[in-house]
Structure 1
Amino acid sequence: MRVGIVTPVVAQPPGAAAWEREAGIEEIGEIAETADRLGYHHLTCSEHVAVPEEAVERRGGVYWDPLATFGYVAARTSRIRLATQVLVLGYHHPLAIAKRYGTLDRISGGRLTLGLGVGSLEEEFDLLGAPFAGRGARADDALAALRASLSRRAPEYRGPHYAYSGMVVEPHAVQERVPLWIGGRTRRSLRRALTADGWVPFGLPLRTLAEMIADCDPPPGFDVVLQPSRPLDPAGDPDAAVTAFARLREAGATIAGVRLASSSAAHYREQLAALRELADPCGLTFEEER
C-alpha cells in the first residue's frame, strides 16, 4: 500500500491544527519537499471558490486554490504526485480543466492526478452560475469528455452536455493517461469511479466501505484511496498507526491518504520521517529515500 498526505494548511476543516492558521506557502513548500524526499506517493489540494458563512463551522473556510498551489509545489519537488482532491466537475468546462491542469502536468513532468467530484454545495453552484439540478449527469458527461481530451492537442468529443471539435489545446497533459480519481460517498460515486482509475470516498465507516468495495469487484489496477478516521501520530503512538493501516488494507485500500498530528510545520516534517520509519510494520511502500 502506498501512502500520500492530506496536505496541511491548504485546507483547514474543523479540528485542523492551530499552527496551520498562521502558516503560509513556505511551510507548505518545506512539507512538500520533505514528503518528496522521503518517497511519499502524493500531496492533495481541494477546491472551493467560496463557502457560505453558515457552512464554515461544518466545512471550514480555508481552501487554497489547487492550481496556484500546485504550480508552486511542482517547482519545489521532482517526483511526488499532485492530486486534486477534488475538483468539482460542474464548475468547469472539460477543456478548461484539460488546459489548466494539462499545463500543470507539463510543468511538473507528468505528476498530475485529477481527483474529481460532483459537488454538493448548492450555494457555490449558484454563485458560479453552474446548474445544480442534474449535476450528476453533467458530471458523467464531463468525465467522459476529459478522458477523451486529456493528453490530446486537438481533442474531439460529442456528448449530451459537451461537444467540441476543431480546437487546439496546447500545452496539454504529457502523461498518456492522466489518473482520474472520483470522490464521493455513495454507490453511484463508486460506479462512476469504476469508469475512471480510482475512488476517494469520505465520511463512511470502514466496514461500509469494505462492503461497497467487495460488492463491486474492482478491476486490476484500480485504486481505492482511504483515510484513517483521525490524524496519526507515528512518533508518539506507532502502534496505533500500524493498526490504522491494517484496517485500511482490510477494507480494500491500495493507497492511504493520511493526516498527521502536529504542533508545527517542523513537527509535521518529523512525523513524515517517523511514518517513513514504520514502512515495514505498516506494510507501506515508499520510493527510495533521496
Structure 2
Amino acid sequence: MRVGIVTPVVAQPPPGNAAWERDAGIDEIGRIAETADRLGYHHVTCSEHVAVPAEAAEQRGGAYWDPLATFGYLAARTSRVRLATQILVLGYHHPLAIAKRYGTLDRVSGGRLTLGLGVGSLEEEFDLLGAPFAGRGARADDALAALRASLGRRMPEYHGAHYDYSGLVVEPHAVQEHVPMWIGGRSERSLRRALAADGWVPFGLPLRTLAEMLAARDLPPGFDVVLAPSRPLDPIGDPDAAGTALARLREAGATIAGVRFVSRSAEHYCEQLAALRELSGTYDLVFGEEQ
C-alpha cells in the first residue's frame, strides 16, 4: 500500500485541522510538500470550493486554497510527488477548461497530475456559479467521458449528450497519455462511476461497509482504492496505533492511504512524515526511494 498525504492548511474542515494551520501560509505548505517529495510519498492533495455559504462553513470549513494556483507553486518545489485534486467538482467546469488548465499543470509538473473528480453536493455553490444542480450526475458522467477523450490531446473530439466539440486546438495539453482519474463519493453510484475511471476516493463510510462494497465488485487491474484513517496518525507518539490504522485500511481494500497527522507545527508535521516512513518495513508500506 502506497501512502500520500491529505495536505494540511489547504483545506481546514472541522474538527480535523490543527491549531497552527489557521495562521500558516504557502511557505509551510511548500516545506511539507518538499519533505513528502524527498521521502517518497505518493501524493499531496488540494480540494476545491469557490465560495462556501457561512452556514455550511460551520460543517465543511471555509478555508479552501485554489488547487490550480497551489499546485502550480508546489510543482516548482517538488520533483516526483503526484499532485492530486481531491476533489474538483465536475459541474463547475467545462471539460475542455479542465483539460487545458490542468493539462498545463501536468506539463509544468512533468506529468504528475492525478485528477480527483466528483459530482458535488453544495447546491448554493452551483447556483452561485450558474451551474445546473439538477441532473448533475448525468452531466458528470458525460464530462468524465469527455475528459477521457480530451486529456493529453492537441485536437480533442467528443460528441455526447451534454458536451459536443471538435475542430479545436488545446495547447498546451497534458503530457501523460493517460491522466489518472479518481472519483470521490460515498455511494454505490460513485463506485460505479469510479470503475469507469482509475480509482475511488470514498469518504464518511465505515471500513466494514467499504470492504463489503468493494468485495461485491469486480475491480479492474490497476484500480486504486484511496482510503483514509478515521483520525490523524501520530507515528512519533504512538507508532503502533498508526501501523494498526493503516493495516485496517489495507484489509478493507486500500491500495493507497491518504493520511493526516497529529501535529503542533509545520516542522512537527515534517517529523511525523519521516517517522511514518521509518515504519514502512514493519507495516508493508510502499514509498519511493528517499532523495
TM-score category of the 2 structures, normalised to the smaller one:
over 0.9
The one-letter code of the counterpart of 2:164 is: A
Structure 2 matches for 1:147-166, cutoff 5 A? 147-166=148-167
Counterpart Cα distance in 2 of 1:140 and 1:122 = 18
Counterpart Cα distance in 1 of 2:82 and 2:96 = 22
Structure 2 matches for 1:127-142, cutoff 5 A? 127-142=128-143
Structure 2 matches for 1:222-241, cutoff 5 A? 222-241=223-242
> Cα deviations across residues 200-248 of structure 1 (Å, max 9, x unaligned)?
0000000000000010121110000000000000000000011011100
1:251 match: 252
| Shift in Å, 1:281 | 1.6
Counterpart Cα distance in 2 of 1:187 and 1:171 = 36
Structure 2 matches for 1:1-290, cutoff 5 A? 1-15=1-15, 16-290=17-291
Counterpart Cα distance in 2 of 1:245 and 1:190 = 22
Counterpart Cα distance in 2 of 1:217 and 1:165 = 34
CA RMSD of aligned residues (A): 0.4
Q: Secondary structure at the match of 1:276?
A: helix
Q: Secondary structure at the match of 1:147?
A: helix
Q: Secondary structure at the match of 2:138?
A: helix
| Shift in Å, 1:253 | 0.2
| Shift in Å, 1:190 | 0.1
| Shift in Å, 1:57 | 1.1
Q: Secondary structure at the match of 2:216?
A: helix
* Identical columns (%): 84
Counterpart Cα distance in 2 of 1:234 and 1:39 = 17
Moved over 4 A (4+): none
Counterpart Cα distance in 2 of 1:64 and 1:282 = 33
TM-score, normalization by structure 2:
0.99
> Cα deviations across residues 72-126 of structure 1 (Å, max 9, x unaligned)?
0000000000000000000000000000000000000000000000000000000
Contact 1:241 1:282 in 2 (8 A): no
The one-letter code of the counterpart of 1:5 is: I
> Cα deviations across residues 17-60 of structure 1 (Å, max 9, x unaligned)?
00000000000000000000000000000000000000111000
